[in-house]
């Protein structure tokens, strides 16, 4: 994967990405690091990864931030219908039907929530019209890590390998942080 400037909505302003193009403004004033990577040779179907690491002054402040992320993740609707919309600069937001689920566990000794989102765009937009997104939120001590790994596929392709890759990347990142 190749580093690039973070493009995901609101992440450069300290907001964590969440379900269906939404975000969660992290409370307090953490020190943040944001980075994004993509596969340079597979822009159409290649994998993408964005990460926000928030370091708080103490564990209590980090716990509050993780609570805000958890609250949002658990209240996201299991099904969602997004309508097309014209955006500034001649851009268009495409319509899609989405599904959402969460799993809570531990990864590399970090408390962890994974939101699993699948967005299906109309077949008229492309034959590669499904986007699988894996939102990971983790906390340990005074650090909160949020990341999103996503990839486009054909409707017939399984999501399992994408979810596995998202978990592998998150696990390596959390092991490096400690």
- Residue range 27-73, pLDDT digits in tens: 999 999 988 887 765 556 778 899 999 999 999 999 999 999 999 99
Instruction: Map out the domains of the chain as residue ranges.
Output: 2-177
CA pair distance 131, 153, nearest whole angstrom: 6
Q: Is the pLDDT of residue 79 over 50?
A: yes
Q: Is the pLDDT of residue 153 over 70?
A: yes
Averaged pLDDT score across all residues of the chain: 90
Average pLDDT score over residue span 117-142: 95
Q: Is 176 helix (H, G, I), strand (E, B) or coil?
A: helix
CA pair distance 87, 85, nearest whole angstrom: 6
Q: Is the pLDDT of residue 142 over 60?
A: yes
Specify the pLDDT at position 41: 56
- DSSP symbol at 125: T
pLDDT in tens, 24-37: 999 999 999 988 88
| Residue 88 φ/ψ, nearest 5 degrees | -60, 160
Q: 105 with 171: CB under 8 angstroms?
A: no
User: Cβ contacts of residue 94 below 8 Å, gap of 6+?
Assistant: 82, 84, 121, 122, 125
**118 torsion bin: left (phi>0), alpha (psi -120 to 50), beta (else):** beta
2-177 fold: Protein Transport Mog1p; Chain A (3.40.1000)
Question: Cβ atoms within 10 A of the Cβ of 50, count?
Answer: 20
Specify the pLDDT at position 37: 82
């Amino acid at each position: 994967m190749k580093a690039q400037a973070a493009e995901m909505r609101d992440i450069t302003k300290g907001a964590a990405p969440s379900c269906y193009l939404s975000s969660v403004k992290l409370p307090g004033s953490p020190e943040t690091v944001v980075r994004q990577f993509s596969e340079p040779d597979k822009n159409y179907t290649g994998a993408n990864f964005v990460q926000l690491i928030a370091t708080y002054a103490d564990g209590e402040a980090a716990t509050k931030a993780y609570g805000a992320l958890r609250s949002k993740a658990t209240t996201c609707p299991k099904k969602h219908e997004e309508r097309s919309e014209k955006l500034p600069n001649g851009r268009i937001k495409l319509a899609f039907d989405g599904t959402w689920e969460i799993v809570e566990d531990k990864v590399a000794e970090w408390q962890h929530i994974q939101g699993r989102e699948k967005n299906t765009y109309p077949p008229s937009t492309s034959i590669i019209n499904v986007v699988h997104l894996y939102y990971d939120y983790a906390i340990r001590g005074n650090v909160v890590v949020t990341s999103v790994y996503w990839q486009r596929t054909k409707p017939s392709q399984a999501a399992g390998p994408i979810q596995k890759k998202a978990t592998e990347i998150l696990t390596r990142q959390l092991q490096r942080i400690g």
